Amino acid sequence: MNKIFAFLILGGILAAIWNGNLDAITPVVLESARTAIERAISLMGIVGFWLGIAKVAEESGLIDRISRFIAPLFRWLFPSIPKGHPAMGSILMNLSANMLGFGNAATPFGLKAMKELQELNPRPDTATEAMCTFLAINTSSVTFVPATIISLRAAAGSKNPSEVLGAILFATTCSTLVAILADYIFRILYRKIERR
Amino acid sequence: MAEQISISSWILPFVIAAVFLHGLMNNVRVFEVFTEGAQEGLQLAIKLIPYLLGIYVAVGIFRESGAVDLMVRLLNPLIRLLDIPAEALFLSIVRTLSGPAALSMMAEIFDTYGPDSYLGRLASTLTGSTDTTFYIIAVYFGSVGIKKTKYAVPVGVMADFASLIASVYIVKRLFP
């Protein structure tokens, strides 16, 4: 991540020199910094609210019940998470919110899942295998109801805004399968390298 | 279409109601427990602020500098080989960095080429089938203080590339 961060900033500034639009950089830095804080504040409200709801669901045993239902699939995807661990429930909530196209509701559960996965981590500065699998599935995003895209298509005057649903489902399934497969292959390769 | 949107506007209120109902049925002190959870959530969100700040500024610089244009030009041979429109490649790079930026690019493509054009459909499919990979990796790992991300980045990039190829293929196939 350090390399990506440095690449974005240095690459961006070099490209600006190359393109002769260095003037654009300073306003963008100020503008982005402001947007980041605005975003952080709106995120505080959403994260606070949904984790409040999640706590109620947890205490009442609802998450427990749902995770028991989905456990066989998860045991296969996340073999390193112990049976009945709360991380299962959070991962499930995050992925379902993603599937239904609620990006904003998904983030709080995702962060909660990371926190719970971190409790299982013997080396706190290094990602665990379960975290990598979780992020692989999360970033490849299986979406069943891309509401934002459909409404933007409708707003642009599309004759049939939802005609792309099938195509999106196909592409998102492909990318999720590739993510799961790539995660699996990398996991095995990484274990071999680490053993050496 | 109207059906799609009304389904998603029903689900959230239903989930919230179901959680509280289940809580009351199991004698949970719903308000107190809710505030406990919200407390944790707020602390989490505060911890996140530096990461958001870093990502937003870095992505902003990268986007405004025209670096993405340069990257697309560098990748030109690949574009020709796989028959991907330059706009689509551009969009899929932006998509990994910032959700709002990708949505506004998609809207721009709709305005220029029309939502029912090849590019309009491709842009919709691309935006709908991937997520902001780099943003998610930075923020999620950042929130728990993980510095070594192992192979999470290459896996995410491979999945995004798969979705680009799959989108081009399926849009050509479904809308000849």
Residues of chain B contacting A153 with CB distance shorter than 8 Å: 110, 115, 120, 124
pLDDT of residue A184: 94
Of the two residues B121 and A62, the one the predictor is more confident about is B121
A18-32, A67-81, A162-176, range with the lowest pLDDT: A67-81
Q: Going by C-beta distance under 8 Å and a sequence separation of 6 or more, which residues neighbour residue B166?
A: A170, A171, A174, A175, B129
Name the B residues in 73-92 with CB < 8 Å from any A CB.
Answer: none
Instruction: Tell me, yes or no, if A86 comes closer than 8 A to chain B by beta carbon.
Output: no
Of B26, B97, B148, which has the smallest distance from its Cβ to A60's Cβ? B26
Closest chain A residue to B166 measured between Cα atoms?
A: A171
Whether B1 shows a pLDDT value over 60: the answer reads no
| Residue A47 near residue A94 (C-beta atoms within 8 A) | no
Q: Which residues of B touch A150 (CB under 8 A)?
A: 1, 4-5
Question: So what's the pLDDT on residue B7?
Answer: 54
Tell me, yes or no, whether A161 lies in a domain. yes
Chain A residues whose beta carbon lies within 8 Å of the beta carbon of residue B39: 48
Mean pLDDT of B155-168: 94
Tokens linked to B97: 């960095």
Which of the pair, B28 or A2, is modelled with greater confidence? B28
pLDDT at residue number B3: 47
pLDDT at A1: 62
Q: Which of A28, A43, A131 sits opposite B61 (nearest CB)?
A: A28
Q: Which two tokens mark A14?
A: 């070099």
The reply to whether A5 falls in a domain is: no
Can you tell me the ipTM of this complex? 0.80
A125–B128 C-beta distance less than 8 A:
no
User: B140 vs A135: CB contact, 8 Å cut-off?
Assistant: yes
Domains: count for chain A:
1
pTM for this entry: 0.80
For the segment B14-27, the average pLDDT, to the nearest whole number, is: 90
The domain in which residue A49 lies consists of 24-195
pLDDT band at B146 (very low <50, low <70, confident <90, very high): very high
**Mean pLDDT of all residues in chain A?**
86
| pLDDT tens digit sequence for B103-118 | 888 888 898 899 999 9
Tokens, residue A182? 């790539």
Q: Does B22 touch chain A (CB under 8 A)?
A: yes
> Is residue A7, in this structure, part of any structural domain at all?
no
Q: What pLDDT, on a 0 to 100 scale, did the predictor assign at position A168?
A: 92
In a domain, residue A8? The reply is no
Whose CA is closest to B34, among B24, B45, B44? Answer: B24
- As a whole number, mean pLDDT of residues A107-122 equals 92
Q: Is residue A11 part of a domain?
A: no
Residues of A in Cβ contact (< 8 Å) with B18: 62
* Residue A126 bridge partners (DSSP): B148
* pLDDT tens-digit series, residues A141-164: 777 667 778 878 888 888 988 889
Does the pLDDT at position B25 exceed 90?
yes
Does A154 reach chain B within 8 Å, measured CB to CB? yes
- Radius of gyration of chain B, Cα coordinates, nearest whole angstrom: 20
DSSP notation for A131-176? HHHHHHHHHH---S--HHHHHHHHHTT-SSGGGGHHHHHHHHHHHH
- Is the residue at A177 inside a domain? yes
Give me the residues paired with residue B148 across strands. Answer: A126
Quick one: closest CA in A to B13, which residue?
A53
Among chain A residues, CA nearest to B107: A152
Which of A15, A19, A167 lies at the smallest CB-CB distance from B170? A167
Q: Return the pLDDT at B2.
A: 44
Distance CA B86, CA B75 (A): 9
Q: Specify if A31 maps to a domain.
A: yes
User: In 3D, which of B25, B51, B169 has the Cα closest to residue A56?
Assistant: B25
Contact A132/B at CB under 8 A: yes
Q: What was the pLDDT predicted at A102?
A: 62
Nearest CB to A162 within list B4, B12, B125: B4
Between A175 and B67, the higher pLDDT residue: A175
